[in-house]
Amino acid sequence: MDAKDKLKLYEPRKMLINFLLIALLLLCSPAYAITIHTTKNISKLSPREISFCDRVVSKIFFAEGGDKTRNPYGVLGFGQLTKEQARKICRNTVINSYTRWKAQSQEKDFLRFLSLSYCPLSDKRDTKSLNKNWYPNMHRLMGGVTHA
């Protein structure tokens, strides 16, 4: 077997290994890990609560700039995401937060509870102090409804 024949055998194997490595990296991304975690929590919510969470997610999209923003749903810390990836992360965050709020929070207003983690006033990335507007904007967009 000469060098050309060995190269022909090597190329498909190299391509397969590269494909498997890329697939592994995609499966282990933070968004995927968050998705798995939410699957457990969503079973703890009623259909009405899930519908409420989905409504919150839709309003967050508009509150965070809609289609005109570089960071859909205001999701930061995961690099550049597609709108669908950002929506999945946002939805998982809202569902997980709703589950925690329902189980342990003394706060009567879920939107205020969510604002503490989704857009904290102490966030160093908020150099223009815009996070203070998140709760009033969401409260207005939700028509004053703060929980299911």
Residue keyed to tokens 């968050």? 34
Per domain, the residue ranges of the chain are: 3-141
Q: Which residues contact 76 (CB under 8 A, 6 or more apart)?
A: 125
- Is 142 strand, coil or helix? coil
Count of alpha carbons within 13 Å of 86, Cβ hemisphere only? 21
Q: What is the pLDDT along the chain (148 residues), one digit of tens a residue?
A: 555 555 555 566 665 555 554 544 444 444 444 444 555 677 788 889 999 999 999 999 998 888 888 888 888 877 788 889 999 999 999 999 999 898 887 778 899 999 988 888 888 887 888 889 899 999 999 998 877 7
